[in-house]
Amino acid sequence: MKKSFLKGNILCALPQLKDIFFSKSLIYLTHHSKDGAVGIILNYKIMNIKGIDLFNKLNIKSNDSNSNISFPFHVGGPMSQNNGFILHSNDYKNTSTIKVSKKVFLTVSTDILIDIAQGKGPKDFFISLGYSGWGPGQLEDEIKNNSWINLNEHMDLLFDKNTEEKWNTAIKRTGIDFSKFLNLSGNA
């Protein structure tokens, strides 16, 4: 029997998950195997930065049309927060691009920012600093303990700029009315 993994899916934190970092988070899984899982949090925006400011800081020459746009930056997770990870549509690929699913790729080099600045980048993209990770079996245990529910890949949850509403939208898509559940536990 082939083991099924969740790469390319979205994890939605269930309301009872009270972890200081992951409460009410959505995570897009870029890797998942018997060795563990890696994902990017989709709904913790930390700032918007103007294209011109970003490109100047990185010494990237941009065309005028992309200088005036604003880029939202997100916390992708508690690990490697000094590194950038860009999830994007499949209309862009370079030598450091990894295919996550048919529709979503991941690029971790500044080459993608150069291409975005010059109008040659992907149509849709999501910029994060850091990522989330789980060791072997850790994510599976958290799912069994009702911390997460899995959603199939939803492009709007991934690339929608309204990060504040992503978790509420995802919870509604589960089809479960969590207001009918008591958040109590105890011993019999």
CATH of 10-180 among 2.40.50.100, 3.90.480.10, 3.40.1740.10, 3.60.20.10:
3.40.1740.10
Could you read off the pLDDT of 144-185 as tens digits, one per residue? 999 999 998 889 999 988 888 999 999 988 888 776 655 544
CA distance 152 to 11: 9
* Other beta carbons less than 10 A from residue 120's beta carbon: 12
* Other beta carbons less than 10 A from residue 53's beta carbon: 13
Statement: residue 44 has pLDDT above 50: yes
Structure confidence at residue 24 (pLDDT): 93
Rg (CA), the chain: 18
Could you read off the pLDDT of 98-150 as tens digits, one per residue? 999 999 999 998 899 888 888 889 999 999 999 999 999 999 999 999 999 99
Domain-by-domain residue ranges, the chain? 10-180
Structure confidence at residue 92 (pLDDT): 96
Contact criterion met (CB below 8 Å) for 89 and 104: yes
Statement: residue 20 has pLDDT above 60: yes
Whether pTM > 0.95 for this model: the answer is no
Structure confidence at residue 52 (pLDDT): 76
CA distance 147 to 13: 6
